Amino acid sequence: MSRQSVALPSVGSIEEELRRVRYQKNFGQELRNTIFLLVVVAAAAVLVAVLLLPILRIYGSSMNDTLQEGDIVVSVKGGRFQTGDIIAFYYNNKILVKRVIGVSGDWIDIDENGEVYVNQRRIDEPYLMDKALGDCNIELPYQVPESRIFVMGDNRSVSVDSRNTAVGCVAEEQIVGKIVYRVWPLEQFGVIGEGLDVGQTFFSFGISES
pLDDT, residue 38, reads 56
Per-domain residue ranges of the chain: 10-51, 55-201
Mean pLDDT value across the chain: 79
Q: How far apart are CA 144 and CA 168, in angstroms?
A: 10
**Higher-pLDDT residue of 180, 31:** 180
Q: Are 63 and 169 in contact (CB under 8 A)?
A: no
Q: How far apart are CA 130 and CA 115, in angstroms?
A: 10
pLDDT reading at 186 higher than 60: yes
- Residues 128-161 have pLDDT tens digits of 989 999 999 999 999 999 999 999 999 999 999 9
CA angle 101, 143, 132 (to 5 degrees): 45
- Told to judge if 204 belongs to the known catalytic residues of this protein, a careful annotator would answer no
- Residues 54-111 have pLDDT tens digits of 788 888 889 988 998 899 988 888 778 899 999 999 998 899 999 999 999 999 999 9
Q: Please tell me whether the overall predicted TM-score, pTM, comes out greater than 0.85 for this model.
A: no
pLDDT, residue 189, reads 84
Q: Return the C-alpha torsion angle 207, 110, 158, 154, nearest 10.
A: -30
Choose the catalytic residue: 98, 159, 162, 208.
98
Choose the catalytic residue: 62, 159, 162, 208.
62
Q: Are 72 and 190 in contact (CB under 8 A)?
A: no
pLDDT, residue 108, reads 96
CATH superfamily ID and name for 55-201? Umud Fragment, subunit A (2.10.109.10)
- Told to judge if 62 belongs to the known catalytic residues of this protein, a careful annotator would answer yes
